[in-house]
Amino acid sequence: MAAVKKQRDLPVTIYRILLYLSRMRSEDHDSRRLVRIERATGIDRKELRDHLQRLTEVGLIERIDEGSVGRGGHQLVHWDISPMGRSWRSDIGRFIQLAQRAEYYPESFFYLPSDAI
CA distances from 87 to 19, 65, 108 (A): 11, 24, 22
User: Considering the domain boundaries, does residue 41 fall inside one?
Assistant: yes
CATH number at residue 19: 1.10.10.10
Phi, psi of 35 (to 5 degrees): -65, -40
Geometric angle at alpha carbon 49, from 44 and 54, rounded to 5°? 125
User: Considering the domain boundaries, does residue 93 fall inside one?
Assistant: yes
Using a 10 angstrom Cβ sphere, with 0-12 exposed, 13-18 middle and 19 or more buried, the burial of residue 15 is buried
Dist CA 36 CA 30 (whole Å): 7
Reported as a pLDDT band with limits 50, 70 and 90, residue 5 is very low
Quote the number of domains for the chain: 1
User: Considering the domain boundaries, does residue 116 fall inside one?
Assistant: no
For residue 32, give its domain range: 10-106
User: Considering the domain boundaries, does residue 115 fall inside one?
Assistant: no
What pTM was estimated for this model as a whole? Answer: 0.79
User: Considering the domain boundaries, does residue 76 fall inside one?
Assistant: yes
User: Considering the domain boundaries, does residue 98 fall inside one?
Assistant: yes
Within 13 Å and on the Cβ side, how many CA atoms surround 8? 21
User: Considering the domain boundaries, does residue 3 fall inside one?
Assistant: no
Tens digit of pLDDT for each residue in 46-105?
Answer: 999 999 999 999 999 999 888 777 777 778 888 899 999 999 999 999 998 898 899 888
User: Which pLDDT belongs to residue 66?
Assistant: 80
User: Considering the domain boundaries, does residue 111 fall inside one?
Assistant: no
Dist CA 50 CA 25 (whole Å): 21
